Amino acid sequence: MPSTPAASLRSRTLAWFKENGRDLPWRRPDCTPWGVLVSEVMLQQTPVVRVLPVWESWMQRWPTPGDLAAEPSGEAVRAWEKLGYPRRALRLHACAREIEEIHGGRVPSDHAELLALPGVGEYTAAAVSSFAFGLPETVVDTNVRRVEARAVTGNALPEPSYTRAEARLAHELMPDVSTPAGIEEANLWNAASMELGALICTARSPRCDECPVHELCAWVANGRPAPHYKPKGQAWEGTDRQVRGAMMAVLRAAEEAVAAGELTALGDPSDVGQGPLAEPLRALRRLAAGAEQRERCLAGLLADGLAVDDGAGGLSLPA
């Protein structure tokens, strides 16, 4: 039997995960390290339900880094569809090229080499090391932070930004990895604590009655106090992100260059003609964004490399 609170927390969470963890394709034994890396980049700030179909289509089209590296970067942006934050697609494409050119087409297992890849930060490097290669790095995302904040520190939410204290706690909760059994438990704990936060210990409506660590939870024992700060929600309506997304939808649907004026034009959506661009152009026109905001958003897409100017006033996805 577990002899410490940390061991009890892990054992109960692992038992729950083995019975309730989702059967996700990037968790299956036959998933390649490339498939795990793609999933981790796609899952950043994006829920599983939206990622699943896009991930599956990506892996069918580009099952290896070399397959993606051989395509223009604009094809990665087009296939990104509506996942949001499309610069991630450009980073994945750059990452695929570097894996192909520097690592012989194989995703590196070394944590430092992973960190050196374009767009790969501390979390993604740790996740790929753990989930793709079975190396017991400490994997901490928002879901893990929330579980640990509630169960151990008694706070309703983790701190607004990841702190050293949270990092220390995450490391302390990892099992001893000096044995093969400890390494296996550590990698399972990474996945299980993340899943517990995603399905049960959610931010807005935690299902405490179904939680396997309910009896151990410091937050529950404290009477489930309110958060010690007011979380800032992410707005969407009227933001530059919304306008940029609508512009990207037009560019993804276009087979030829689109006139810049089409992306910044104001006016009645019903004035848009027919054709493959009709619906995304109407959606863009419907937004309550003024000329200044539209110009700013278009300039941002060009600066980020998500759109390119052909020199004659036409815009398209990068080649």
- The contacts of residue 121 (CB under 8 Å, 6+ apart) are 115
Question: Would you state the pLDDT for residue 275?
Answer: 85
Query: What is the 3-state secondary structure of the chain?
Result: CCCCHHHHHHHHHHHHHHHHCCCCHHHCCCCCHHHHHHHHHHCCCCCHHHHHHHHHHHHHHCCCHHHHHCCCHHHHHHHCCCCCCCHHHHHHHHHHHHHHHHCCCCCCCCHHHHHCCCCCCHHHHHHHHHHHHCCCCCCCCHHHHHHHHHHHHCCCCCCCCCCHHHHHHHHHHCCCCCCHHHHHHHHHHHHHHHHHHHHCCCCCCCCHHHCCCHHHCHHHHCCCCCCCCCCCCCCCCCCHHHHHHHHHHHHHHCCCCEEHHHHHCCCCHHHCCCCCCHHHHHHHHHCCCCHHHHHHHHHHHHHCCCCEECCCCEEECCC
pTM, two decimals, is 0.93
Beta pairing partners, 315: 258, 309
Active-site residue numbers?
Answer: 40
Identify the pLDDT of residue 283. Answer: 93
| pLDDT the model gives residue 2 | 44
List Cβ neighbours of 146 (8 Å cut-off, separation of 6 or more): 157, 158, 197, 201, 202, 203
In this prediction, residue 69 carries a pLDDT of 98
Q: Is 96 exposed, middle or buried (0-12, 13-18, 19+ CB in 10 A)?
A: buried
Task: Chunk the chain into consecutive blocks of 10 residues (it has 319) and report each block's average pLDDT, rounded to whole numbers.
Answer: 77 97 97 98 95 97 98 97 94 97 96 94 97 96 97 96 96 95 96 98 96 97 94 86 95 94 89 86 93 96 96 92
pLDDT (0 to 100) of residue 1: 37
